A and B are shown apart, each in its own frame.
Chain A
Amino acid sequence: MMSWKWGLRHQLLVSMVLLTSIFVAVFFYYTSDQQYKLFHREFISKNNSVTETVKIGLEIGLQNENLEAIKSIFDWVKNQKDFHWIGITDSSGEIFASYPSELREDFLSHQSSDLNLPTITTSRDWKSPLDHGSIVIAFSTDRYHLQSQKLFKDTAFFSFIILFLAVILSLLLSQLIAKPLTSFQKTIEQISSGHTHHRIDSESGGAEVKGLTQSFNIMMDELNEAQMKIEREKQKSENLLLNILPVKIADRLKSGEKIISDKLDSVTILFADLVGFTVLASKTQAPELVAILNRIFSDFDDLCEQTRAEKIKTIGDSYMVISPLGSDASKGAQIMISFAQQMLKILSQINRENDLSLQLRIGIHTGPAIAGVIGKKKFSYDLWGDTINIASRLESHGIPDQIQISESTQLLIKDYFKNEYRGEIELKGKGKFKTFLIS
């Protein structure tokens, strides 16, 4: 991701530098070309003028036999700026006069108007009554080369400044352009990592970027809203699931486990039955009756939440709950005794508040059981085995507002709760069982 970010900056930087380099190259070429043309024009014009003057001086001097005038012209030409050499030929093509004196004929054959060469030459034909020939004058291009060098240095310096400024400008510009994109990218990364509340600063960048970020933020708001709705619905579903299944069982079902079936080695099972409810039902209107029953069982449900006890089901006015899944036998039994005590307190409170006289008959037994989830629709977590039957019998043979427990439970809680032996009761098909009451 970082490479993309730097890539964009580099691209901008390289593009700007490339464009500036092209501009500088064109500028450099144009300047050099213009300078060449300017010098060329100036040189050619001046040299033509000088050569023409020499020609006229030579012709007039010869015509008037004024050798002194000719010498003056020569002295003048030798002092001309950029003068390099002069050669005068006669009708036979032989150089009869030159400066410097050692000038050879082949010099004259190398005439050039190219400023890039060391010299530039101009020529004129001269004519007098006695003879005729040519004058060739060469001018040094050193001055041009010196000025070219100076121009080159100046242009190079100027180009360097332009390039330097271009790089600085490119960096600033690339940062300016890349900044909102970088911010965009960081926000997307944060959103990807779960921070969906992050938003892009829509005030930075140009109009297009602002539009983009605003659209993105709106989209994210809508997505968040949709996500929250989904979460709420999911939570509802989970709550519903948790209302009918223990948390651990629900988790196993959500993770894809198809058949839930566990063998519980030692679980404490509590059955509670409302005594007097049938009488109350015959005297009370249905809505009021349901409201009372709902209040009682809702408080028991809250108690389950507090103690982590697992509510299994209600059957009419009976309430079945077991010790927390995963807890050891002793601890589970203690929790269930406390649970039963709290149930009695809750019912007492409700009685007082509603001027009722309902009672609870509670039976508790500890032992092994099979637990599992059955059914496709309205499925439930349930338990099977003798332990459940025994617990149920303990309840049905119990005393109202008393907690009757089996011997197996008593052995587990005797060090923590006061209890007294009640006696033996006959359980159908199971023989005699010792029972105890919690004091």
Chain B
Amino acid sequence: MKKVLLILFLIVGYCEVSQAQSIIVNAQNSTITIPSKFVKDIFIGNMTRWKNNSLIEVVDYNANTELRTEFTAKYIEMSVMRVYKNWIRLSLSAEVAPPKIFHTQQEVIDFVSKNANAIGYIKDRQLISKDSSVKEVKILEK
């Protein structure tokens, strides 16, 4: 029994660590889960529309923030410059809305709460526990 409890603890603990960044969207957004590949595509601009065909409004952080570095490393697997280049390429050739850059998680939450098509990420879940206008979307790992 102790072994079982230990295994369950380890699994839950692992999950907590892997869920260090949470994807958030507006509460009106019907999305519940999102594959990690889509996360990458959205944040580098390759995927620009929701299922309902509305334009995705990407929200990101400054390049020198730890949160962004971790998120980029984990989900996008590209350098920040590489991501920028991709956005620049898209900005020149397609009708896309480049990501809005904020400094803090609260600024990101505020923007997402006010924009139905916005998507961002945070690290501190408790920041959205009391905000009903923003919801977390579960990332489906590979």
- Which A residues lie at the B interface, using CB under 8 A? 58, 62, 65-68, 70-71, 74, 86, 88, 90, 96-101, 130-131
Contact = CB atoms under 8 A, between A and B. Distances in A.
A101 B93 CA distance: 6
Contact of A96 (B62, B85, B94, B97): B85
B4 to A, nearest CB: 48
Interface of B: 62-63, 79-81, 84-89, 91-94, 96-101
Given A65-B63, A130-B81, A96 B88 contact: yes
30 contacts: A58-B88, A65-B63, A65-B84, A65-B101, A66-B101, A67-B99, A67-B101, A68-B97, A68-B100, A70-B87, A70-B91, A70-B98, A71-B91, A71-B96, A71-B98, A88-B88, A96-B85, A96-B86, A96-B88, A96-B89, A97-B89, A97-B92, A97-B93, A100-B93, A101-B89, A101-B92, A101-B93, A101-B94, A130-B63, A130-B84
Contacts of B96: 71
Contacts of A130: 63, 79-81, 84
B63 A67 contact: no
Contacts of A100: 93
Looking at chain A's contact residues, the main secondary structure is mixed
A30 B98 CA distance: 51
B93 A99 contact: yes
A395 B85 CA distance: 156
A67 B80 contact: no
A99 B92 contact: yes
Contacts of B62: 65
Given A67-B99, A67-B101, A71-B98, A62 B84 contact: yes
B52 to A, nearest CB: 23
Contact of B87 (A67, A88, A101, A131): A67
Given A58-B88, A74-B88, A98-B93, 8 more contacts: A66-B101, A67-B91, A68-B98, A97-B93, A99-B93, A130-B63, A130-B79, A130-B81
A131 B93 CA distance: 21
Nearest to A69: B98
Given A65-B62, A131-B81, A70 B93 contact: no
A316 to B, nearest CB: 144
A58 B94 CA distance: 17
A64 B63 CA distance: 10
A74 B63 contact: no
Contacts of A131: 81, 85
B101 A86 contact: no
Contact of A67 (B79, B93, B94, B98): B98
B92 A86 contact: yes
A65 B62 CA distance: 7
Contacts of B93: 97-101
A97 B91 contact: yes
A67 B97 CA distance: 9
B89 to A, nearest CB: 4
B45 to A, nearest CB: 9
B44 to A, nearest CB: 12
Contacts of A74: 88, 91-92
A96 B101 CA distance: 21
A71 B99 CA distance: 11
Contacts of A99: 92-93
Nearest to A86: B92
A162 to B, nearest CB: 51
B104 to A, nearest CB: 14
Contacts of B100: 68
A99 B98 CA distance: 17
Nearest to A73: B91
A412 B11 CA distance: 184
Contacts of B84: 62, 65, 67, 130
Contacts of B98: 67-68, 70-71
A97 B85 contact: yes
Contacts of B86: 96
A98 B91 contact: no
Nearest to B99: A67
Contacts of B89: 96-98, 101
Pick the most buried of A67, A71, A86: most chain B CB atoms within 10 A of its CB.
A67
Nearest to A72: B91
A101 B96 CA distance: 14
Nearest to B93: A101
A74 B91 CA distance: 7
Interface centre among B81, B87, B100 (most CB of A within 10 A): B81
A294 to B, nearest CB: 136
